[in-house]
Amino acid sequence: MTVAAKWLGLCAAVVLLGWFLTRPETVDPAELQGVVPDPANGERLFHAGGCSACHGADLGGGLALETDFGTFYAPNISTDELAGIGAWTTLDLANAMLRGTSPDGKHYYPAFPYTSYTRMKVQDVADLKAFLDTFAPVNRKSTEHDIAFPWNVRRGIGIWNRRYLDSNFIVAVNIDDALLLRGRYLVEAVGHCGECHTTRDSFGGLEPTMWLAGAPNPDGEGWVPNITPQEDGLADWSANDIAYYLATGFTPDFDTVGGSMVEVQENLARLPDADRAAIAAYLKFIPPKAGPAL
């Protein structure tokens, strides 16, 4: 074998390895066998996740998220079969939310918080799909993302996923503590609170050592606050204070919710009291972290 042939074979092997390592992952369809969707629970999850805050009240999409990698736009997730996700199956939604993979087998960009949703239960994804199916179709084409090279090469997200896509929970809690388990699930998975309240590294991945300790505002102005039980966070707030804030928008010192948190709070206000109490219990339980330097 000539030197040229050896190099050609090596290059081919590297390409195949890279193609394998960057392949989109999918959910095993067997996980959905026997799942009976519950749209009522889907509505609860819809508000817990604040879906309308990004995708609009009609789910027609449009919210712009400016990042160091480009500008991303929330897509149409209405029941329109062409402009939205009306033609999607429950498995399609599970692949999108739990693996970050589109129905046509491409990677989604992690501006879509599938790195948090990956911790969700398949049953809950099915329930959410059932509720989304109750919305009217919106015939509005999603805005294309504005991303420069090399970040516009979607296949490369496969490598990113191998580093950052992890279905394990961040904070360990007692498996016999139903309140904390529920709070952790709502904060770390469905509510994806860490996506805004946690700093990111140079590749856009969340830094778990700074979990919920605050971060630059993804809207581009100001700072998302520390919500750990730290002095510069929620140390002076009781669990009841937190639950009351989530229900009413009023802080213990009679200030009011502001900025992008307004829509988040309005959605959380539609949850049962037990869910807000669970979120509050979790936020008082997690390790306190000093926020990053401004």
pLDDT given for residue 119 in this prediction: 98
Query: Based on the domain organization, do 61 and 162 belong to the same domain?
Result: yes
pTM for the full model? Answer: 0.92
Output the six-digit token pair for 229.
């039980």
Structure tokens at 223: 């700072």
Q: Quick check: is 8 in a domain?
A: no
Closest residue by Cα to residue 93 from 123, 68, 55, 61: 123
Residue 16 pLDDT: 55
Which of 117, 142, 168 is the last residue before a domain boundary? 168
Q: What is the pLDDT of residue 3?
A: 55
* pLDDT tens profile 57-102: 999 997 898 888 899 999 999 999 999 999 999 999 999 999 999 9
Domains of the chain: total? 2
Residue where the block lists tokens 């508000």: 47
pLDDT tens string 91-135:
999 999 999 999 999 999 999 999 999 999 999 999 999 999 999
DSSP β-ladder status, 215-216 and 223-224: antiparallel
- Which of 147, 168, 189 lies at the terminal end of a domain, its last residue? 168
Same domain, residue pair 143 and 155: yes
276 shares a domain with 175: yes
Contact present, 27 and 98 (Cβ < 8 Å): yes
In terms of C-beta density within 10 A (0-12 exposed, 13-18 middle, 19 or more buried), how is residue 191 classed? buried
Residue 2 is assigned to a structural domain of this protein = no
97-103 contacts at long range (C-beta below 8 A, 24 or more positions apart) = 97/125, 98/27, 98/122, 98/125, 98/167, 99/24, 99/25, 99/26, 99/27, 99/165, 100/24, 100/25, 100/157, 100/161, 100/165, 101/24, 101/25, 101/26, 102/24
CA distances to 55, 101, 114, 207 from 52, in Å: 5, 21, 16, 26
